[in-house]
Structure 1
Amino acid sequence: MTDIRVLTADWHKDNAEIRRIRESVFIKEQGVSPEQEWDSDDASATHFLAYEGECAVGTARLLPNGCIGRVSVLRDWRGLNIGEALMQAAISEAERQGLAEQTLTAQTHAAGFYERLGFKIISDEFIEAGIPHIDMLRASG
């Protein structure tokens, strides 16, 4: 396996890398509009970047309320457990911040991935950005 590491990112300093990954995955691949992808929550979120060597290949964010989102890995690096490494970093940071519950809005097809990390489905399926989603919750401990 490749040498993957996940670091806490700075929204301002690492903005170009975060935007490059999210634009590739959400806007170009999945057809999410830029207006839906970029929101004011980014400024207050804790961001994470996954690196292979010096190349950023994945990202995620944790909001102050414990919501994890924008988990994305560039196509060529999928299947290498990078998403799991990003999620573990976000969960660890949430717990470090004293957030005993973490939530996320998952694309329905990814529910199994999040269930393996301890999340449970807490909503019916709904459409967001033209894609089926569900809300999920993980309680620490």
Structure 2
Amino acid sequence: MRSVTIAAGDWGKLGADAARVREAVFVRELQIAAPFVSDEADSDALHVVAYAHGDAVAAARLLPNGAVGRLAVLPSARRMGVGSLVLRALIEHAAHRGDACLRLYAQHEAVPFYLRHGFSTVGAPFYEAGVEHIEMMKSLDAV
């Protein structure tokens, strides 16, 4: 996608834009209850938001323990590489701060996306907020 910029920062800086993307994807599109979309961990996380033509189109967060979460891309920006830009930004930040590995809980449909970025599945699928997920991990020693 052309004209995409990536911003990284705290919830105070990027929270409003990240929340709008999450609301559109998780609550309205996937019908996930709003309390599962944001939590107290947002205040300690590094947030990455992708902007296209000035509008937030994707967002994700990286927790201090190396957990990636809340990766969401608006339908209009999907299959254009925006999610990959956001995930790569989180991977780079984690590697820069010295994280040994990253972990996440991927929705079933997103597993191929994360596999393409070097994540591998761990354990068995489970349900969270009514949606099937599986834990995935990525070692950062080769990043």
- State the secondary structure of the residue aligned to 2:64: coil
Corresponding position: 1:85 with 2:85: yes
2:51 maps to 51
Deviation by residue 1:13-59 (Cα, 9 ceiling, x = unmatched): 32221111000000111111111112110000000010112111110
Count of residue correspondences: 141
- Larger mean Cα displacement after TM superposition, 6-15 or 57-66: 6-15
1:50 partner letter: A
Aligned counterpart, 2:123: 123
What is the one-letter code of the residue matched to 1:78? R
Structure 2 equivalent of residue 134 of structure 1:
134
Residue in 2 aligned with 1:69? 69
Cα pair 2:10 2:44 within 8 Å, conserved: no
- After TM superposition, the score normalised by the length of structure 2 is 0.95
Letter in 1 for 2:62: L
Q: Distance in 2 between matches of 1:7 and 1:122?
A: 30
Moved over 6 A (4+): none
Gaps of 5+ in 1: none
Whichever residue aligns with residue 44 of structure 1, its letter is D
RMSD: 1.0
Q: Distance in 2 between matches of 1:37 and 1:4?
A: 24
| Distance in 2 of aligned mates of 1:9 and 1:51 | 14
The residue that corresponds to 1:25 in the other structure is 25
Instruction: Give the TM-score of the pair, scaled to structure 1.
Output: 0.96
Give distance in 2, aligned partners of 1:93 and 1:13: 17
Separation (CA, whole Å) in 2 of partners of 1:47 and 1:93? 10
Q: Could you give the per-residue CA deviations for residues 46-88 of structure 1, whole angstroms, max 9, x where no partner exists? A: 0001011211111000000000110011111111110000000
One-letter code of the match for 1:39? D
2:10 touches 2:43 (CA, 8 Å); kept in 1? no
The separation in 2 between residues aligned to 1:110 and 1:54, in whole angstroms, is 26
Identity score, percent: 38
Q: Distance in 2 between matches of 1:107 and 1:13?
A: 27
The corresponding residue for 2:100 is 100
- What letter matches 1:10 in structure 2? D
Equivalent residue, structure 2, for 1:13: 13
